């Protein structure tokens, strides 16, 4: 990818989260260090509703698949996540299970009543808001091999569902990115290497959704790293910002990536079609054959890698939910 546009922004507060209302482009929401969640009229750019909290609002999220509710999940400096009903303007439910500030909140993209929360206590919890007994699942980085049931050894700084909802990516202050099977809660043990960020806020990762092989985009200091989600292989590092990058967003229609930073610049990254064309041409070139009929062992290695990737993809995308749960 290459840098194509730069926009300079100016604000006196730390804006943590922006999201369009999924079913009406006439509304969008914002929240940040002013301890306020606002619902904006996109036509007049005037807040239609304002919700105040006792602490910094680190993140909020609206479901993209829910048709039976208009709830916003909100994570703040409190250890409790709150559900705000847009129709009544009030908090209707409190999710208690963390011991520290809730940095990350996100609805499942395929299950309208399932939401995740990530906290400074290192835990990532799954909730079914229809259940009164508390969280339905807590992710464990050791897959139950040790008594400490935390997703990260440190703060949870970012979470991101795959578009299908069958996988979840998380990132913590331990510098580790983890890939989870969302139905079993299993750590898939994909190695992405270390990603270093010295931040005390929720970071926004992005995952390509219009490709067969999903790609993760994650801030690392003033740069952005991209990884193959299923294999963990590092693809490329994008450089253009001058200070800490806080957020990335992927546009599935244009395949562009947008990034925001403490340098108050918004950068637009577009696919480098020339480089892609050269890469495809190189793939079409005949490779020298070894005595075994392989291109120096590359074909055998590629076949093994593809088989491993297909097996992993099959296990991640296996639909273990019953028809009743889908209904």
Q: What tens digit of pLDDT does each residue of 289-304 get?
A: 544 443 444 334 334 4
Q: What is the rounded CA–CA span in Å between residue 240 and residue 234?
A: 18
Reduced to 3 states (helix: H, G, I; strand: E, B; else coil), residue 32 is strand
pLDDT at 209: 80
Q: What is the rounded CA–CA span in Å between residue 140 and residue 310?
A: 25
Instruction: Give 107-124 as a DSSP string.
Output: E-SS-TTEEEEEETTS-E
Q: Are 54 and 78 in contact (CB under 8 A)?
A: yes
pTM: 0.80
Reduced to 3 states (helix: H, G, I; strand: E, B; else coil), residue 63 is coil
- Residue 23 has a CB neighbour count (10 Å cut-off) of 12
Q: Are 84 and 127 in contact (CB under 8 A)?
A: no
Q: Are 203 and 247 in contact (CB under 8 A)?
A: yes
CA angle 311, 317, 321 (to 5 degrees): 130
Q: Are strands 46-52 and 36-41 parallel, antiparallel or unpaired?
A: antiparallel
Mean pLDDT of the chain: 84
At 75, which helix (H) or strand (E)?
A: strand 71-76
At 178, which helix (H) or strand (E)?
A: strand 177-181
pLDDT at 122: 96
Q: What tens digit of pLDDT does each residue of 124-172 get?
A: 999 999 987 789 999 999 998 776 779 999 999 999 999 999 999 999 9
């Amino acid at each position: 990818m290459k840098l194509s546009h730069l926009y300079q922004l100016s604000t006196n507060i730390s804006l943590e989260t922006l999201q369009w209302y999924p079913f009406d482009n006439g509304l969008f929401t914002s929240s940040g260090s002013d301890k306020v969640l606002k619902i904006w009229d996109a036509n007049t750019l005037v807040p239609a509703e304002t919700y105040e909290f006792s602490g910094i609002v680190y993140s909020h999220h609206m479901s993209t698949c829910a048709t039976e509710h208009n709830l916003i999940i909100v994570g703040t400096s409190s250890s409790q996540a709150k559900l705000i009903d847009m129709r009544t303007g009030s908090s209707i439910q409190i999710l208690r299970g963390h011991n520290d500030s809730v940095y990350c909140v996100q609805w499942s993209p395929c299950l309208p009543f399932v939401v995740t929360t990530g906290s400074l206590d290192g835990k990532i919890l799954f909730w079914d808001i229809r259940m009164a007994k508390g969280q339905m699942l807590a992710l464990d980085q050791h897959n139950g091999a040790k008594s400490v049931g935390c997703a990260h050894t440190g703060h949870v700084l970012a979470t991101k569902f795959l578009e299908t909802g069958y996988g979840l990516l998380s990132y913590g202050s331990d510098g580790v990115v983890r890939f989870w099977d969302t139905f079993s809660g299993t750590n898939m043990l994909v190695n992405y290497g270390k990603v270093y960020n010295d931040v005390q806020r929720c970071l926004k990762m992005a995952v390509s959704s219009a490709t067969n092989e999903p790609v993760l985009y994650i801030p690392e200091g003033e740069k952005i790293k991209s990884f193959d989600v299923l294999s963990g292989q590092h693809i490329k590092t994008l450089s253009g910002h001058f200070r800490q990058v806080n957020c990335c967003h992927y546009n599935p229609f244009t395949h562009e990536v947008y990034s925001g930073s403490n340098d108050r610049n918004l950068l637009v990254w577009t696919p480098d079609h020339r480089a892609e064309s050269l890469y495809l041409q190189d793939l079409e070139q005949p490779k020298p054959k070894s005595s075994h009929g392989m291109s120096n062992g590359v074909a055998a290695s590629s076949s093994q890698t593809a088989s491993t990737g297909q097996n992993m993809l099959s296990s991640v995308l296996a639909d273990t939910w019953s028809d009743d749960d889908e209904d």
